[in-house]
Protein backbone atom coordinates (compact mmCIF):
# COMPACT_ATOMS: atom_id res chain seq x y z
CA UNK A 1 0.00 0.00 0.00
CA UNK A 2 2.80 2.41 0.86
CA UNK A 3 4.37 1.67 -2.52
CA UNK A 4 1.13 2.65 -4.24
CA UNK A 5 0.89 5.85 -2.17
CA UNK A 6 4.46 6.70 -3.13
CA UNK A 7 3.70 6.28 -6.85
CA UNK A 8 0.55 8.39 -6.54
CA UNK A 9 2.46 11.07 -4.62
CA UNK A 10 5.16 11.28 -7.32
CA UNK A 11 2.50 11.49 -10.04
CA UNK A 12 0.72 14.29 -8.19
CA UNK A 13 4.00 16.20 -7.68
CA UNK A 14 4.80 15.96 -11.40
CA UNK A 15 1.31 17.15 -12.37
CA UNK A 16 1.71 20.73 -11.08
CA UNK A 17 5.45 21.40 -11.21
CA UNK A 18 5.22 25.04 -10.09
CA UNK A 19 3.31 24.17 -6.92
CA UNK A 20 5.79 21.37 -6.30
CA UNK A 21 8.71 23.76 -6.67
CA UNK A 22 7.16 26.25 -4.22
CA UNK A 23 6.49 23.46 -1.70
CA UNK A 24 9.95 21.93 -1.94
CA UNK A 25 11.63 25.34 -1.77
CA UNK A 26 9.72 26.30 1.39
CA UNK A 27 10.46 22.97 3.08
CA UNK A 28 14.15 22.82 2.14
CA UNK A 29 14.82 26.49 2.95
CA UNK A 30 13.16 26.19 6.36
CA UNK A 31 14.99 22.98 7.19
CA UNK A 32 18.32 24.46 6.09
CA UNK A 33 17.94 27.40 8.48
CA UNK A 34 16.97 25.13 11.38
CA UNK A 35 19.79 22.65 10.72
CA UNK A 36 22.42 25.40 10.57
CA UNK A 37 21.08 26.81 13.84
CA UNK A 38 21.09 23.31 15.37
CA UNK A 39 24.66 22.67 14.18
CA UNK A 40 25.79 25.93 15.80
CA UNK A 41 24.01 25.30 19.12
CA UNK A 42 25.17 21.67 19.21
CA UNK A 43 28.79 22.68 18.63
CA UNK A 44 28.71 25.42 21.26
CA UNK A 45 27.12 23.15 23.86
CA UNK A 46 28.94 19.88 23.21
CA UNK A 47 32.42 21.01 22.20
CA UNK A 48 34.27 20.71 25.52
CA UNK A 49 37.66 22.10 24.52
CA UNK A 50 39.42 23.24 26.65
CA UNK A 51 37.13 22.54 29.63
CA UNK A 52 37.10 18.75 29.36
CA UNK A 53 36.37 18.49 33.09
CA UNK A 54 33.03 20.18 32.52
CA UNK A 55 31.18 17.32 34.24
CA UNK A 56 32.72 18.34 37.55
CA UNK A 57 33.05 22.10 37.03
CA UNK A 58 30.82 24.95 38.15
CA UNK A 59 31.03 28.35 36.50
CA UNK A 60 30.74 31.66 38.37
CA UNK A 61 29.97 34.34 35.80
CA UNK A 62 28.25 37.13 37.70
CA UNK A 63 27.22 38.76 40.93
CA UNK A 64 24.20 40.98 41.52
CA UNK A 65 23.51 43.33 44.43
CA UNK A 66 20.01 44.64 45.08
CA UNK A 67 18.52 47.13 47.50
CA UNK A 68 15.09 48.71 47.89
CA UNK A 69 15.03 52.39 48.87
CA UNK A 70 12.47 55.18 48.85
CA UNK A 71 13.58 56.35 45.44
CA UNK A 72 13.25 52.84 43.95
CA UNK A 73 15.33 49.71 43.55
CA UNK A 74 19.12 49.90 43.34
CA UNK A 75 20.76 47.15 41.28
CA UNK A 76 24.37 46.49 40.42
CA UNK A 77 25.30 43.38 38.43
CA UNK A 78 28.14 41.98 36.35
CA UNK A 79 31.37 39.99 36.70
CA UNK A 80 33.22 39.72 39.99
CA UNK A 81 36.47 41.26 41.17
CA UNK A 82 39.65 39.21 41.40
CA UNK A 83 39.61 39.84 45.14
CA UNK A 84 36.12 38.34 45.53
CA UNK A 85 37.02 35.12 43.71
CA UNK A 86 40.46 34.80 45.30
CA UNK A 87 39.41 35.76 48.83
CA UNK A 88 36.00 34.05 49.04
CA UNK A 89 35.64 31.38 46.31
CA UNK A 90 39.13 29.98 46.86
CA UNK A 91 38.44 29.54 50.58
CA UNK A 92 35.66 27.00 49.92
CA UNK A 93 36.52 23.54 51.23
CA UNK A 94 35.16 21.30 48.47
CA UNK A 95 36.76 22.73 45.28
CA UNK A 96 40.22 21.34 44.57
CA UNK A 97 41.09 24.27 42.28
CA UNK A 98 39.52 27.61 41.37
CA UNK A 99 40.35 29.01 37.94
CA UNK A 100 40.10 32.81 37.77
CA UNK A 101 40.19 34.75 34.52
CA UNK A 102 39.21 38.22 33.36
CA UNK A 103 36.92 39.02 30.48
CA UNK A 104 38.97 39.44 27.33
CA UNK A 105 39.92 42.93 26.20
CA UNK A 106 41.22 44.09 22.82
CA UNK A 107 44.28 46.06 21.81
CA UNK A 108 45.97 46.91 18.51
CA UNK A 109 49.54 46.02 17.65
CA UNK A 110 51.53 46.33 14.44
CA UNK A 111 53.71 43.84 12.59
CA UNK A 112 55.42 45.00 9.38
CA UNK A 113 53.08 48.02 9.27
CA UNK A 114 50.08 45.68 9.45
CA UNK A 115 47.55 46.27 12.22
CA UNK A 116 46.61 43.20 14.24
CA UNK A 117 43.84 43.09 16.83
CA UNK A 118 44.85 41.03 19.86
CA UNK A 119 42.46 39.94 22.60
CA UNK A 120 44.07 39.37 25.97
CA UNK A 121 42.91 37.82 29.23
CA UNK A 122 44.42 37.80 32.72
CA UNK A 123 44.45 34.49 34.61
CA UNK A 124 45.68 32.83 37.79
CA UNK A 125 47.82 29.68 38.05
CA UNK A 126 44.87 27.34 38.68
CA UNK A 127 43.51 28.27 35.26
CA UNK A 128 45.99 25.88 33.60
CA UNK A 129 45.12 23.04 35.99
CA UNK A 130 41.34 23.32 35.82
CA UNK A 131 41.35 23.54 32.01
CA UNK A 132 42.97 21.10 29.58
CA UNK A 133 44.54 23.22 26.86
CA UNK A 134 46.35 21.44 24.04
CA UNK A 135 49.89 22.85 24.03
CA UNK A 136 51.36 22.74 20.54
CA UNK A 137 54.71 23.93 21.87
CA UNK A 138 56.14 25.18 25.13
CA UNK A 139 54.28 25.12 28.44
CA UNK A 140 52.14 27.36 30.67
CA UNK A 141 53.76 30.01 32.82
CA UNK A 142 54.19 28.94 36.42
CA UNK A 143 52.76 30.08 39.72
CA UNK A 144 56.17 31.50 40.63
CA UNK A 145 56.28 33.56 37.46
CA UNK A 146 52.83 34.93 38.26
CA UNK A 147 53.83 35.78 41.84
CA UNK A 148 56.97 37.52 40.55
CA UNK A 149 54.94 39.56 38.06
CA UNK A 150 56.95 38.33 35.08
CA UNK A 151 55.79 39.52 31.68
CA UNK A 152 55.21 36.14 30.11
CA UNK A 153 52.35 34.87 27.96
CA UNK A 154 50.75 31.85 26.36
CA UNK A 155 49.42 32.59 22.88
CA UNK A 156 46.94 30.85 20.60
CA UNK A 157 47.87 29.02 17.41
CA UNK A 158 46.05 31.63 15.30
CA UNK A 159 47.94 34.47 16.98
CA UNK A 160 51.25 32.73 16.35
CA UNK A 161 50.49 32.47 12.62
CA UNK A 162 49.26 36.05 12.37
CA UNK A 163 52.01 37.66 14.44
CA UNK A 164 55.04 35.48 13.71
CA UNK A 165 54.14 34.00 10.33
CA UNK A 166 55.70 30.64 9.40
CA UNK A 167 58.27 30.62 12.21
CA UNK A 168 58.70 27.03 13.41
CA UNK A 169 59.03 27.85 17.11
CA UNK A 170 58.24 31.06 18.98
CA UNK A 171 59.15 30.01 22.51
CA UNK A 172 61.24 32.77 24.04
CA UNK A 173 60.16 35.30 21.41
CA UNK A 174 58.37 38.52 22.36
CA UNK A 175 54.91 39.69 21.40
CA UNK A 176 53.58 43.20 22.00
CA UNK A 177 50.14 43.81 23.48
CA UNK A 178 48.82 47.05 24.92
CA UNK A 179 52.29 48.63 24.42
CA UNK A 180 53.99 45.99 26.57
CA UNK A 181 56.42 43.26 25.44
CA UNK A 182 55.65 39.73 26.70
CA UNK A 183 57.86 36.67 26.36
CA UNK A 184 56.09 33.64 24.86
CA UNK A 185 56.22 30.53 27.06
CA UNK A 186 53.71 28.38 25.16
CA UNK A 187 51.36 28.05 22.20
CA UNK A 188 47.93 26.42 22.57
CA UNK A 189 45.27 25.26 20.16
CA UNK A 190 42.91 28.18 19.54
CA UNK A 191 39.61 28.44 21.41
CA UNK A 192 36.49 29.59 19.48
CA UNK A 193 35.26 33.03 20.43
CA UNK A 194 31.82 31.56 21.17
CA UNK A 195 33.35 30.07 24.33
CA UNK A 196 33.69 33.61 25.61
CA UNK A 197 34.52 32.62 29.19
CA UNK A 198 37.74 30.90 28.06
CA UNK A 199 38.57 32.51 24.72
CA UNK A 200 41.59 34.75 24.22
CA UNK A 201 44.41 35.34 21.76
CA UNK A 202 46.98 35.66 24.53
CA UNK A 203 46.81 34.70 28.22
CA UNK A 204 48.65 36.86 30.76
CA UNK A 205 49.43 36.61 34.51
CA UNK A 206 46.92 38.61 36.53
CA UNK A 207 49.82 40.29 38.35
CA UNK A 208 50.79 42.25 35.21
CA UNK A 209 47.32 43.73 34.88
CA UNK A 210 47.20 47.50 34.69
CA UNK A 211 44.01 47.53 36.76
CA UNK A 212 44.12 47.18 40.53
CA UNK A 213 43.44 43.49 41.15
CA UNK A 214 43.79 44.10 44.91
CA UNK A 215 40.56 46.16 44.97
CA UNK A 216 38.44 44.69 47.78
CA UNK A 217 35.07 45.40 46.17
CA UNK A 218 32.87 42.52 44.98
CA UNK A 219 32.45 43.73 41.42
CA UNK A 220 35.09 43.71 38.69
CA UNK A 221 35.86 41.99 35.39
CA UNK A 222 36.66 38.41 36.44
CA UNK A 223 34.85 35.05 36.30
CA UNK A 224 35.69 31.77 37.99
CA UNK A 225 35.46 28.00 37.59
CA UNK A 226 35.19 25.71 40.62
CA UNK A 227 36.61 22.21 40.09
CA UNK A 228 35.08 19.45 42.22
CA UNK A 229 37.05 16.33 43.27
CA UNK A 230 34.39 14.14 41.61
CA UNK A 231 30.96 14.30 39.96
CA UNK A 232 29.28 13.39 43.24
CA UNK A 233 30.70 16.56 44.82
CA UNK A 234 28.98 18.89 42.35
CA UNK A 235 25.76 19.45 44.32
CA UNK A 236 27.53 19.85 47.72
CA UNK A 237 30.00 22.27 46.10
CA UNK A 238 27.13 24.29 44.64
CA UNK A 239 25.42 24.34 48.02
CA UNK A 240 28.63 25.44 49.75
CA UNK A 241 28.98 28.36 47.36
CA UNK A 242 25.36 29.42 47.95
CA UNK A 243 25.93 29.34 51.71
CA UNK A 244 29.03 31.48 51.33
CA UNK A 245 27.08 34.05 49.29
CA UNK A 246 24.34 34.21 51.93
CA UNK A 247 26.92 35.05 54.60
CA UNK A 248 28.67 37.82 52.65
CA UNK A 249 28.64 41.21 54.38
CA UNK A 250 27.01 44.03 52.42
CA UNK A 251 29.69 46.26 50.95
CA UNK A 252 27.31 49.23 50.81
CA UNK A 253 24.21 50.36 52.69
CA UNK A 254 22.55 50.83 49.31
CA UNK A 255 22.08 47.07 48.98
CA UNK A 256 20.17 44.50 51.02
CA UNK A 257 20.75 41.27 49.12
CA UNK A 258 23.51 39.61 47.09
CA UNK A 259 22.81 37.07 44.35
CA UNK A 260 25.44 34.87 42.71
CA UNK A 261 25.39 31.28 41.54
CA UNK A 262 27.89 28.57 40.69
CA UNK A 263 26.23 27.02 37.64
CA UNK A 264 26.81 24.17 35.25
CA UNK A 265 28.25 25.12 31.86
CA UNK A 266 24.93 25.69 30.06
CA UNK A 267 23.42 27.86 32.80
CA UNK A 268 26.63 29.81 33.14
CA UNK A 269 26.92 30.28 29.37
CA UNK A 270 23.50 31.92 29.00
CA UNK A 271 23.98 34.31 31.90
CA UNK A 272 21.72 37.33 31.30
CA UNK A 273 23.07 39.50 34.11
CA UNK A 274 20.09 38.70 36.31
CA UNK A 275 21.60 36.44 38.96
CA UNK A 276 18.29 36.12 40.78
CA UNK A 277 16.84 34.08 37.90
CA UNK A 278 18.44 31.66 35.48
CA UNK A 279 18.74 32.76 31.87
CA UNK A 280 18.36 29.18 30.59
CA UNK A 281 14.59 29.44 30.25
CA UNK A 282 14.92 32.71 28.33
CA UNK A 283 17.43 31.12 25.93
CA UNK A 284 15.27 28.06 25.25
CA UNK A 285 12.19 30.24 24.84
CA UNK A 286 13.97 32.50 22.35
CA UNK A 287 15.17 29.49 20.31
CA UNK A 288 11.70 27.94 20.38
CA UNK A 289 10.03 31.17 19.24
CA UNK A 290 12.57 31.59 16.44
CA UNK A 291 12.04 28.00 15.25
CA UNK A 292 8.25 28.46 15.41
CA UNK A 293 8.34 31.66 13.37
CA UNK A 294 10.69 30.11 10.80
CA UNK A 295 8.34 27.15 10.37
CA UNK A 296 5.05 29.05 10.54
CA UNK A 297 5.02 30.78 7.14
CA UNK A 298 6.18 27.75 5.09
CA UNK A 299 3.70 25.55 6.94
CA UNK A 300 0.79 27.88 6.17
CA UNK A 301 1.96 28.11 2.57
CA UNK A 302 2.15 24.33 2.28
CA UNK A 303 -1.30 23.95 3.85
CA UNK A 304 -2.82 26.26 1.23
CA UNK A 305 -1.06 24.46 -1.61
CA UNK A 306 -2.18 21.07 -0.27
CA UNK A 307 -5.78 22.26 0.01
CA UNK A 308 -5.63 23.42 -3.61
CA UNK A 309 -4.14 20.10 -4.71
CA UNK A 310 -6.81 18.14 -2.87
CA UNK A 311 -9.67 20.20 -4.28
CA UNK A 312 -8.29 19.48 -7.77
CA UNK A 313 -8.53 15.78 -6.95
CA UNK A 314 -12.13 15.91 -5.75
CA UNK A 315 -13.32 13.60 -8.56
CA UNK A 316 -10.71 11.01 -7.56
CA UNK A 317 -11.86 11.29 -3.96
CA UNK A 318 -15.52 10.91 -5.01
CA UNK A 319 -14.77 7.78 -7.05
CA UNK A 320 -12.80 6.19 -4.24
CA UNK A 321 -15.55 6.97 -1.73
CA UNK A 322 -18.17 5.58 -4.11
CA UNK A 323 -16.23 2.30 -4.23
CA UNK A 324 -16.14 2.07 -0.45
CA UNK A 325 -12.96 3.87 0.65
CA UNK A 326 -13.44 5.21 4.18
CA UNK A 327 -12.52 8.71 5.28
CA UNK A 328 -9.86 7.23 7.57
CA UNK A 329 -8.11 5.49 4.68
CA UNK A 330 -8.21 8.62 2.54
CA UNK A 331 -6.83 10.78 5.36
CA UNK A 332 -4.04 8.26 5.90
CA UNK A 333 -3.21 8.29 2.18
CA UNK A 334 -2.98 12.08 1.92
CA UNK A 335 -0.92 12.40 5.10
CA UNK A 336 1.52 9.79 3.76
CA UNK A 337 1.70 11.65 0.43
CA UNK A 338 2.44 14.90 2.26
CA UNK A 339 5.12 13.22 4.38
CA UNK A 340 6.76 11.94 1.19
CA UNK A 341 6.75 15.49 -0.20
CA UNK A 342 8.16 16.81 3.06
CA UNK A 343 10.96 14.26 3.23
CA UNK A 344 11.91 14.98 -0.38
CA UNK A 345 12.23 18.63 0.62
CA UNK A 346 14.11 17.49 3.72
CA UNK A 347 16.70 15.63 1.65
CA UNK A 348 17.25 18.77 -0.42
CA UNK A 349 17.50 20.77 2.82
CA UNK A 350 20.15 18.40 4.22
CA UNK A 351 22.25 18.71 1.06
CA UNK A 352 21.90 22.52 1.13
CA UNK A 353 22.85 22.56 4.82
CA UNK A 354 26.02 20.58 4.16
CA UNK A 355 26.98 22.92 1.31
CA UNK A 356 26.37 26.07 3.38
CA UNK A 357 28.14 24.67 6.46
CA UNK A 358 31.12 23.76 4.27
CA UNK A 359 31.15 27.33 2.92
CA UNK A 360 31.00 28.78 6.46
CA UNK A 361 33.91 26.56 7.57
CA UNK A 362 36.06 27.31 4.52
CA UNK A 363 35.38 31.05 4.79
CA UNK A 364 36.26 30.88 8.52
CA UNK A 365 33.22 33.02 9.34
CA UNK A 366 33.25 31.60 12.88
CA UNK A 367 36.90 31.12 13.79
CA UNK A 368 37.85 27.76 15.32
CA UNK A 369 34.24 26.56 15.33
CA UNK A 370 33.89 23.94 12.56
CA UNK A 371 30.20 23.13 12.03
CA UNK A 372 29.00 19.78 10.73
CA UNK A 373 25.88 17.70 10.15
CA UNK A 374 26.35 15.07 12.86
CA UNK A 375 23.89 12.53 14.28
CA UNK A 376 22.24 15.11 16.56
CA UNK A 377 21.79 17.65 13.77
CA UNK A 378 20.48 14.98 11.38
CA UNK A 379 18.00 13.72 13.98
CA UNK A 380 16.70 17.26 14.54
CA UNK A 381 16.34 17.65 10.77
CA UNK A 382 14.36 14.43 10.36
CA UNK A 383 12.19 15.27 13.36
CA UNK A 384 11.51 18.69 11.83
CA UNK A 385 10.48 17.02 8.56
CA UNK A 386 8.06 14.76 10.42
CA UNK A 387 6.50 17.66 12.35
CA UNK A 388 6.40 19.78 9.20
CA UNK A 389 4.68 17.00 7.26
CA UNK A 390 2.10 16.31 9.91
CA UNK A 391 1.26 19.98 10.58
CA UNK A 392 0.84 20.80 6.91
CA UNK A 393 -0.97 17.57 6.01
CA UNK A 394 -3.53 16.97 8.73
CA UNK A 395 -5.84 19.91 8.01
CA UNK A 396 -5.99 19.43 4.21
CA UNK A 397 -6.57 15.70 4.72
CA UNK A 398 -9.37 16.45 7.18
CA UNK A 399 -10.94 18.88 4.66
CA UNK A 400 -10.75 16.21 2.01
CA UNK A 401 -12.38 13.56 4.21
CA UNK A 402 -15.43 15.81 4.67
CA UNK A 403 -16.18 16.01 0.94
CA UNK A 404 -19.58 14.64 -0.01
CA UNK A 405 -19.45 11.86 -2.62
CA UNK A 406 -22.06 13.49 -4.87
CA UNK A 407 -20.46 16.94 -4.65
CA UNK A 408 -17.04 15.49 -5.32
CA UNK A 409 -18.24 13.66 -8.45
CA UNK A 410 -20.06 16.77 -9.70
CA UNK A 411 -16.77 18.68 -9.53
CA UNK A 412 -15.59 16.58 -12.47
pLDDT tens track for 172-193: 999 998 889 999 999 999 999 8
Q: Minimal CA–CA distance to 339: which of 399, 397, 293?
A: 397
Judge whether residue 5 has pLDDT over 70: no
**Cβ proximity of 63 and 75 under 8 Å:** no
Evaluated on CA atoms 207, 184, 180, 133, the torsion sign reads negative
Q: What is the pLDDT of residue 311?
A: 65
Q: Which residues contact 121 (CB under 8 A, 6 or more apart)?
A: 101, 102, 103, 104, 105, 199, 200, 202, 203, 204
Confidence band for 226, pLDDT divided at 50, 70 and 90 = very high
% of residues, the chain, pLDDT over 90: 39
- Residue 108 backbone dihedrals phi, psi, to 5 degrees: -100, 140
Q: How does strand 72-78 pair with strand 97-102?
A: unpaired
> CA 290 to CA 295: how far, in whole Å?
9
pTM: 0.78
> CA 258 to CA 63: how far, in whole Å?
7
Judge whether residue 89 has pLDDT over 90: yes
pLDDT digits (tens, 9 = 90+) for 203-224: 999 999 988 788 888 999 999 9
Count, residues in the chain: 412
Q: How does strand 257-259 pair with strand 105-111?
A: unpaired
* Residue 39 vs residue 318, higher pLDDT: 39
Q: Where are the domains of the chain?
A: 2-47+281-410, 62-262
> CA 200 to CA 26: how far, in whole Å?
40
Q: What is the pLDDT of residue 273?
A: 54
Judge whether residue 114 has pLDDT over 60: yes
**b/e sequence 34-47, b meaning 16+ C-beta within 10 Å:** bbbbbbbebbbeeb
Mean pLDDT, the chain, rounded, equals 83
Amino acid sequence: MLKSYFKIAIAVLMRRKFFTFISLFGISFTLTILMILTAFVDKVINDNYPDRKRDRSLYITGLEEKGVRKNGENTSSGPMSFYFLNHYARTLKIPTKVAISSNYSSTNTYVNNKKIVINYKYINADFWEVLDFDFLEGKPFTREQIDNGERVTVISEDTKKEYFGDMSSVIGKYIEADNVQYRVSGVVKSVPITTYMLYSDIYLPYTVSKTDYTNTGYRGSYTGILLAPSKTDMVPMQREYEQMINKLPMESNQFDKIFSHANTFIKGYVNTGNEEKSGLNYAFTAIAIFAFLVMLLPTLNLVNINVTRIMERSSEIGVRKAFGASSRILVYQFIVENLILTFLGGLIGIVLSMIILNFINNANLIANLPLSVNVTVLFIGLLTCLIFGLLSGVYPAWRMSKLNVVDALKAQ
